[in-house]
Structure 1
Amino acid sequence: MQPASAPMNHEVDAAVVLSGQFDPRPYPFPYLAVVANLGTSGSMLSVLMTAVGMLKEHGWELVSVANTGGTVLQLTAFLKRA
């Protein structure tokens, strides 16, 4: 499967990172948000942190993790270029 081009917004779904559909190399911004929603298969935190680990191999560093979904559980990892 061909990796998708980088999104022109500042977030990407963790499942997209794990599936190899996100190529962080052409991503033009210094910060990136990786989102895992309640419907994500497996543990949301495990899925999110696995995606963060994959992005670390491409020069991204974890800054923080927060529940950004309000009343709906949604975890977001905030990363910056290392």
Structure 2
Amino acid sequence: MATYVYETIPQRAGEKRLRFEVEQSMNDAPLTHHPENGRPVRRVIFGGFGVMKTGARPPRPRGCGCGRRREECEHADACGCN
């Protein structure tokens, strides 16, 4: 179940919007009217708090983790040490 934010759609000048949350399945159709007062509503869509990066890849593994230079590591051919 997901929690969706809805707000009433003002029908007259000066009428305030009322925001509320509803827990619904993602397969449920969006509400069209407030469940208690019957006023028309719309679902509010807004950005989340996640951080997005584009073009970033995880760093390539560097060596076996021994901290030695390539010529000093016995695993150099297999692990790609510094």
TM-score (norm 1): 0.21
- Highest relative contact order (Cα 8 Å, sep 6+), 1 or 2? 1
Instruction: Give the TM-score normalised by structure 2.
Output: 0.21
More helix by share: 1
The structure with the largest alpha-carbon Rg is: 2
Structure holding more strand per residue: 1
